[in-house]
């Protein structure tokens, strides 16, 4: 393949459109969460991921799993956890069966903030998708997101 190969160009154009859609959605949600809840998209995502943990077998996530879920490096995730812990939204404690392990849980204040922010996140996502659907280049990707969302269990 060469740089002028039509298939490669179409692939690159598709990737650019998908990246554009992601950027627009993330920016829209970021503005809404910051304005109403003083939360970034990453902070919201971290609270959401950690709120889904449970005490049963395999219920607590390791930091690498958390980092993968919020699409950050482990060091960036650790810094984010520290910031939210300083705000009283997260707490850390030693794993009872492996003293080397550290668990991170959402505090009651973190759960309350997450629940308050969830409708804002959903509304901002819907607004961003509706706006993007008006762009013919982005509309197919919006449909893909909507169909994937409908198929995924919540």
Give the residue from 45, 104, 102, 110 showing the smallest Cα distance to 71: 45
Give CATH for domain 6-151: 1.10.10.10
Spatial contact of 74 and 32, defined as CB atoms under 8 Å apart? no
What is the pTM assigned to this prediction?
0.85
Between the two ends of the chain, the Cα-to-Cα distance in Å is: 41
Encode 96-118 in three state secondary structure. CCCCCCEEEEECHHHHHHHHHHH
Cβ neighbours around 19 below 10 Å, total: 11
| Length reported for the chain | 154
Tell me, what's the pLDDT at 153? Answer: 41
Cβ distance 132 to 116 under 8 Å? no
d(CA 38, CA 10): 39
At 48-58, the pLDDT tens digits run: 999 998 777 77
Domains of the chain, by residue range, sit at: 6-151
pLDDT at 50: 95
CA dist 1 and 37 (Å) reads 48
Per-residue pLDDT of the chain (154 residues; tens, 9 = 90+): 555 567 768 888 889 999 999 999 999 999 999 999 999 999 999 999 999 987 777 778 888 889 999 999 999 999 999 999 999 999 988 877 777 778 889 999 999 999 999 999 999 999 999 999 999 999 999 999 999 866 444 4
């Amino acid at each position: 393949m060469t740089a002028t190969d039509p298939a490669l160009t179409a692939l690159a154009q598709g990737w650019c459109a998908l990246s554009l859609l992601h950027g627009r959605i993330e920016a829209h949600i970021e503005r809404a969460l910051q304005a109403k809840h003083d939360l970034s998209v990453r902070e919201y995502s971290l609270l959401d991921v950690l709120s889904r943990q449970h005490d049963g077998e395999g219920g607590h996530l390791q930091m690498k799993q958390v980092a993968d879920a919020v699409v950050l490096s482990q060091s960036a995730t650790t810094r984010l956890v520290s910031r939210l812990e300083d705000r009283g939204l997260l707490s850390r404690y030693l794993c009872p069966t492996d003293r080397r392990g550290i668990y991170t849980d959402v505090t009651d204040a973190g759960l309350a903030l997450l629940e308050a922010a969830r409708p804002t996140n959903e509304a901002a996502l819907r607004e961003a998708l509706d706006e993007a659907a008006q762009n013919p280049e982005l509309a197919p990707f919006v449909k893909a997101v909507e169909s994937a969302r409908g198929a995924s269990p919540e």
